[in-house]
Chain A
Amino acid sequence: MAARSDGRLGKWLVIGPPLAYLLVFFAAPALIMALASFRTPGEFGGLSPLLENGKIDLNLDSYARFFTDSIYAQIFLKSVWYALLTTLFCLLLAYPLATLIAKSGKRHRDLLLLLVILPFWSNFLIRVYAWMIILGPNAALARMVNGVLAWVGHEPVPLLFSSFAVLICLVYVHLPFMVLPLYANLEKHDQALLDAAQDLGANAWQRFWRITFPLSLPGVYAGAALVFIPALGIFAIPDILGGPEDSLIGNVIKQQFLETRDWPFGSVLSIVLTVAALAIAGFAAWVARGSLGTPSSAGEARA
């Protein structure tokens, strides 16, 4: 009996601190934000008092605003579109890279992995500012592009402060989050399966689409989630590299809290964003389960 209660105490000691942390720093703020979304903005920003003249002031005004003014839905859809494009380009770039790393020898593999995570050693904002220099009007890239454009008789285009700059930086920043889960998956693939497929008459193309790719889907889904969800809420990259048309939902939320100081509406946007991200992730997980047959298929690939 004593041993059993000891075990229970031990369990609480282990899960207690992280649980408390999550409750205080994640669940509580989320609830405060959910509550704030139903309140009225204060006269000078922030929130007006919850209790006024003995009445609790909770309303759906901010939600009504989101669903009636179509500009927010448009920005929201644009954010989803940018996040999808980012995910797609990351996948297209990361798949060959992850395959290369997984197939290279032990020594090269470690070096390549190091190169993939090397950007994390410098500050995120510094890396984004670096793109300002790379894409700047006087940099070699812009000159080269505009030189070619002038040669074919096209007007020069600015690379910086454009959707192009935002997308290229979104892909750059998120690429490692796609490469690492893909590599972790591909590295475990059993060469015997490909040998068997070849023996059974599959060519290189068929071996990829019928064997390698389906078995790598757990890695693809993990990478897509790690890229899509942060890309959906990003605000720094459009702020620094985008033009006025490139404002995304993250920028609008930031604006609501810091500039317009309409906290209830900012909370509404945040909640819609969170719910949308959860819904998309949930949908992806559901699709993943269906297409993989069983959740344990990935583990089986190792056997």
Chain B
Amino acid sequence: MRTVFQSYALFPHMTVEGNIAFPLQMAKTPAAEIPGKVEEALADVRLLGFGKRYPHELSGGQKQRVAIGRALVTHPTMLLLDEPLAALDAKLREEMQIELINLQKEVGITFVYVTHDHTEALALSHRIAVMNKGRVEQVDQPSKLYNFPSTRFVADFIGTCNLLDGVVIAAESGTVTIEVEGLGPVRATTMLRTAAGARATIALRPEKIRIEPTAADAVCENRFQGTITDFLYLGDVTVYRVSTPGGKKLEALLANSEAGRTEFFESGNTVTMSWPADAGHFLDS
């Protein structure tokens, strides 16, 4: 196993070639084979022609690639990347993410990628392990993790999530109803067995909530009145904060590109929020 460090940890007194040759020299690779392998590694990380440069003559993304090339040159079976993109700006980070995905496909070894950035985790991974205080909370595919988090922590950590805490008032054949304080009875589907009286949480993603000016045509199991308190216009989407008469605050996300979307809401507007029973994810607590 090899590690790619957050700070790259390139040896400043060695050229790019020197850096990449270092693990080969440590592994007592015959000197005659080293230049070929270095060249191969440079090609893998698309840095051919940069071999004679020193680390301080490279950009952040290039340094990153040297660090990866240096880690891969001895063909380890696993690569540990410790927040490798944390030091890069947003645009470059996205480019490097795509590069890392492609590189991983090419070399075909396991990449263990440590990150605090949940979008980065979702974008890059085949499987994600969410850790909290040194314990693994859930290991799953990105979409499973996002849509069916198994704990409150996971639901809250991966993306934004409305966590509706309450007491189960009815549970029958895959549908539960929870009395949520400040909101009212919320219905959700679940495979879990539960009984009336148990405390539970419904994890509801903001993009699953529909907001309309008035009670509209769509028939949804869950329907609540609320007032817009704040909104964040993010270009592609708008995030609305809605407060119910009972004092519960929910976050709802609307795609601005949605077909037929003509209306934007202002702070103070009264709206109806609705979502189907299968939109919320039931969490046993």
Q: Which residues of A contact B (CB under 8 A)?
A: 190, 192-193, 195-197, 199-202, 206, 210-211, 214-215, 292-294, 296-297, 300-301, 303
- CA of A197 to CA of B15 in the docked complex: distance in angstroms? 15
**Residues of B contacting A192 with CB < 8 Å?**
5, 7, 9
**Does B22 lie within 8 Å of A301, measured CB to CB?**
no
Question: Which of A193, A214, A294 sits near B54, CB closer than 8 Å?
Answer: A294
Please pick, from B13, B22, B23, the residue contacting A293 in the complex, using a CB distance under 8 A. B13
Q: Are B26 and A202 neighbours in the complex by a CB distance under 8 Å? A: yes
B1-43 vs A: 1/0 string, CB under 8 Å?
A: 0110101010111110000001100110000000000000000
Question: Min CB distance, A13 to chain B, in Å?
Answer: 36
User: With A199-B3, A201-B23 as given contacts, are A193 and B11 in contact (CB-CB < 8 Å)?
Assistant: yes
Closest to B1 in A: A199
Contacts of B23 in A (CB 8 A): 200-201
Known: A200-B26, A214-B13, A215-B13. A300 touches B7 (CB 8 A): no
Task: Identify the closest chain A residue to B7 (Cβ).
Answer: A192
B12–A301 touching, CB < 8 Å: yes
With a cutoff of 8 Å between Cβ atoms, the chain A residues found around residue B116 in the complex are none
A296 touches which one: B3, B22, B56 (CB < 8 A)?
B56
Q: Which of B2, B5, B11, B54 contacts A195, CB < 8 Å? A: B5
Pairs A–B under 8 Å by Cβ, sample size 25: A190-B7, A192-B7, A192-B9, A193-B9, A195-B3, A195-B5, A196-B11, A197-B22, A200-B2, A200-B23, A200-B70, A201-B26, A206-B26, A210-B22, A215-B12, A293-B13, A293-B15, A294-B54, A296-B56, A297-B12, A297-B54, A300-B54, A300-B55, A301-B12, A303-B56
With contacts A192-B7, A201-B26 known, what are 11 further pairs, Cβ within 8 A? Answer: A190-B9, A192-B9, A193-B9, A195-B5, A196-B9, A196-B11, A200-B26, A201-B27, A215-B13, A297-B12, A297-B13
Query: Are A303 and B3 CB-contacts (below 8 A) given A294-B54, A294-B56?
Result: no
- Which interface class (under 10, 10 to 19, 20 to 34, 35 or more) fits B? 20 to 34
Residue of B nearest to A300 (CB): B12
Interface centre among B2, B9, B13, B56 (most CB of A within 10 A): B13
Distance of A293 Cα from B23 Cα, bound (Å): 20
Closest chain-B Cβ to A78's Cβ sits at a distance in Å of: 36
Once the chains bind, are B13 and A292 in contact (CB under 8 Å)? yes
- Choose among B3, B15, B54 the residue that contacts A196 (Cβ–Cβ < 8 A): B3
CA distance A303 to B9 in the complex (A): 9
Verify A211–B11 contact, CB threshold 8 A: yes
Most buried by A among B26, B27, B74: B26
